[in-house]
Amino acid sequence: MPLLIREAAVCLPGRTGMMVVMPLTRSEATARAAIIDVHSYEVHLDVTTSGDTFGSRAVVRFGARPGSSTFLEFEPVAISSMTLNGSPVPSGSASDGRLTLADLAEENELVVEATMRYSNDGEGLHRYTDPADGNVYLYQHLFINNGGRVLPCFDQPDLKASWQVSVSAPADWKVATNGELVSHEAGEWRFAATKPISTYLASLFAGPFHAVTDEHDGIPLALYVRAALAEHLDRQAEELFTITKQCLDRYHEMFEIRYPFGHYQQAFAPEFNFGAMEYPGLVVFRDEMIYRSAVTDSQRESRANVIAHEMAHMWFGDLVTMAWWDDLWLNESFAEYLGTRVAGEATRFTGTWTTFAMQRKAWGLRADQHPSTHPVAPVEVRDTEQALLNFDGISYAKGAATLKQLVAFVGDEAFLAGLNEHFTAHAYGNATLADLLGALAKASGRDLSGWAEVWLRRAQVNTLKLALSPARVEQTAPADHPTLRPHKIGIGLYDRAADGTMVRRSLLPVEVEAAAQTLVPRLDEEAAADLVVLNDGDLTYAKIRLDEASTAAVPTALPLISDSLARAVLWAATLDAVVDGERPVAELVTLVLTALPVESEVVIVEDVLRATRSLVDRYSTPETRPAALELVTQAADRLLAVSEAGGSRQLAAARGLIGATSETGRLRGWLAGEGVPDGLAIDADLRWLILYRLVVLDAAGLAEIDEEFARDRSATGAQWAARCRAAVPTAEAKAAAWQAIVSDVSLSNRLVEMTASGFWHPEQLGLLASYVPRYFAEMPAMMRVRGGMSAERTAGYAYPELAVDAETRRLAAELLAREDLDPILRRVVQDADDDMRRAVDARF
């Protein structure tokens, strides 16, 4: 090891509200990769000190073109020493989030000791104090461009290296990382070197957490959670391990390369920005996925899907990593598709494609129609700032739906063969769209370049509409994105049976041409059906419109169809038509009242109630909204009355009723244990939901919130309390909440997001009128003190989407005209304004 030359500590500002960090551009990354080959990171973190900083010592070994210069991402608070190949590096080399190095040798060793800052925004090394017991927990999240907040590193996905981590921690803590544990003694933890991984995949979880361990097929398994959630993890560990083992087995059946990263640990972290993150060897989830209250089966299915999704990343993203962020779809689209597929094939949750049709695909369709739309695989992602914006419904859900369509075209055997060839060719390395298409083309014997051009390289969505006499599928595209695509779909013909149910008589396979219309002569040969379902089986990604007779038949036919996926297709098409203003929200509310009380699929119940409530709040006028909400309440009440006691439908119905009702006496009674339906547990989370609605209706206030928080002094309780305080309909409460949203950097990511999510309510628009212009005036400053995903979420939650009028749109246009507008805020406002355009059109 070279001699360490110490210099006087150099103090630098931390990122929060201070340091200007330049995004990494693609051209910079390409140039750096041409001269740099990173071998390893040897990292020691000292987290034993109190306060808001920690110690970091890094040894970075890398090859380079002799005599060249480069830079590493690095955001220190203070530098104790820096040496390159044994010689001091000038302290001035570190500025603006970068450490510049000159006159490199063929082989180099950089050694840096520095003081770094903990974060409270879910990025870098996040520090959290549990309100339940005062315990402190840390987790590391270096995602996209945050590696420099922990150590100097070459922070781009195609510069992979081995990581060897050691940690000095308080004696009563536990520590877990990507690498397998080598030793721990007296607060010193050492871990084995990893296989080559990208910087954004380096993980760490530390604190006095509770652990449960197991083993499967030679793979050590572990679950980690905060001590306050230990009893809940112990109750759920068997289910979590069972799902993990089932998914591992299924992936091993599909893929020739076994799970490649040694142990498989899963940590549940507080205030995690994503639902989960695929760190190899140590997957991290939001710890809300360790349930402390009653949940529905659809929530458990969602958790199983996330487990399967993150496990898919062990191959797509971790073993083989995109070369740059323009191929993000190679990570997320595949994980979304395979997670949905494997959870449905391997676990007890067999209805995952129904959930996909209702939830995820709708997310993709909305994102794809916004002004910010982009291709699944864009040709160019200019920098890491733009890359962050592409983590959306297009890269996830549209990409997954596109892959489902691809499998329908090439066949499953060829699809899996192509994936296996791809893994073998690029294991522990990086790959591009061309690499994967080459492997799939070879396995299927088909040229996929034309398919990829229209499905992956071009944005926006097609609408498929069924017309009769003669039978044909009409395809349209938006004028500014006029691409027509081939679609392989099914058309289902349904008849009313003697017992009153709707039975599918036949399913016609149809290959829709990339043309304005495709004739379907087989449908003309069939006897007339009571209902014809276009895209039955949900094979393609498109907006679906039925023929006129089938549209008219939906209200009576929908409750009689036994196939949940077919019902999801019909519900999704109905909701989408209302969003587009093709059908009035009053018609949707009537359908909800007649059809939803007999719906057996919980995810359909939950999503229809959620989407309908949102549409009623934004598309109904102030005069018609109360009546519409009353019908939604009646629908939930009817469902509640016929649901099995203690079952998922009962809980979903109760939540829907609480969110829609204005009957405060009933809600107060439930809180007091009076009039509660048999089997419905008024547990901690349901109590908060009831109290939140009472606060919105001005039937409870700060005293009741404080009392409830004293009863539930937990992490979730703190978040609910923040949301409820923001909902209090007084000028003082709104002023305090707004100050927290726009300028209180002491608040953690989750608390500020919950505050923003509780601010706007239709019942309070008179009180909130002054905050509409304040959003557009003050949100740019908020973006200067917060960053990343938390800033994006806060700006989105705080948007005045309920102030549906032309003046809100004028203010949005005025803000968007600014050339200096933060790109994250620009996207939030663009897309929210587009949603408001639809709402204004629907109202007026």
- Provide the residue ranges of all domains of the chain, joining segments of one domain with +: 10-208, 751-844
Report residue 378 as tokens: 């864009």
Strands (E), 513-554: 517-519, 531-534, 543-545
**Model confidence, pTM:** 0.96
Q: Which of 310, 332, 385, 753 is catalytic?
A: 310
* Closest to 95 measured CA to CA, from 13, 34, 177: 13
Cβ of 818: how many Cβ atoms within 10 Å? 12
* Closest to 786 measured CA to CA, from 740, 735, 829, 737: 740
Q: Output the pLDDT for position 21.
A: 75
Is 310 annotated as catalytic?
yes
Q: Output the pLDDT for position 50.
A: 83
- 264 contacts: CB under 8 Å, gap ≥ 6: 219, 220, 221, 222, 244, 248, 281, 283, 311
Query: What is the architecture, at CATH level 2, of domain 10-208?
Result: Sandwich (2.60)
**β-pair partners for 110:** 60, 84
Pairing outcome for strands 107-117 and 502-512: unpaired
Cα–Cα distance, 55 to 261 (Å, whole number): 28
Cα–Cα distance, 592 to 637 (Å, whole number): 12
Cα–Cα distance, 158 to 429 (Å, whole number): 8
Cα–Cα distance, 154 to 305 (Å, whole number): 32
Q: Output the pLDDT for position 10.
A: 35
Cα 754 vs. chain centroid, distance in angstroms? 16
- 123 contacts: CB under 8 Å, gap ≥ 6: 141, 142, 143, 146, 149, 273, 787, 788, 789, 790
Q: Output the pLDDT for position 13.
A: 36
Residue 380: exposure state from Cβ atoms within 10 A (0-12, 13-18, ≥19): exposed
**β-pair partners for 46:** 55, 168
Cα distances (angstroms) measured from residue 406 to each of 400, 411, 450, 456, 823: 10, 8, 12, 11, 33
Q: Output the pLDDT for position 20.
A: 61
Residues in the chain with pLDDT values less than 70: 1-20
If you ran DSSP here, which 8-state letter would residue 573 be given? H
Report residue 613 as tokens: 């409530």
Residue-wise pLDDT for 619-634, tens only, equals 999 999 999 999 999 9
Q: Output the pLDDT for position 788.
A: 83
Residue 772 — φ and ψ, nearest 5°?
-65, -55
Q: Output the pLDDT for position 9.
A: 34
Q: Output the pLDDT for position 1.
A: 35
Helix (H) or strand (E) holding 725: helix 715-727
Pairing outcome for strands 543-545 and 463-467: parallel
Quick one: the chain helix, strand, coil %, rounded to 5? 45, 20, 35
**In 563-701, which residue ranges form alpha helices assigned H by DSSP?**
564-579, 585-595, 602-619, 625-642, 648-660, 664-671, 684-696
Cα–Cα distance, 600 to 552 (Å, whole number): 22
If you ran DSSP here, which 8-state letter would residue 484 be given? -
**DSSP characters over 401-424:** HHHHHHHHHH-HHHHHHHHHHHHH
The torsion region of residue 187 among left (phi > 0), alpha (psi -120 to 50) and beta comes to left
Residue 448 — φ and ψ, nearest 5°?
-100, 5
- Three-state DSSP at 676 gives coil
Helix (H) or strand (E) holding 87: strand 87-88
Report residue 373 as tokens: 């739309």
The torsion region of residue 706 among left (phi > 0), alpha (psi -120 to 50) and beta comes to alpha
- 641 contacts: CB under 8 Å, gap ≥ 6: none
Cα–Cα distance, 74 to 218 (Å, whole number): 39
**β-pair partners for 185:** 188
Report residue 586 as tokens: 């009053």
**β-pair partners for 207:** 174
**β-pair partners for 78:** 11, 115
Q: With contact defined as beta carbons under 8 Å apart, do 504 and 522 qualify?
A: no
Residue 681 — φ and ψ, nearest 5°?
-90, 120
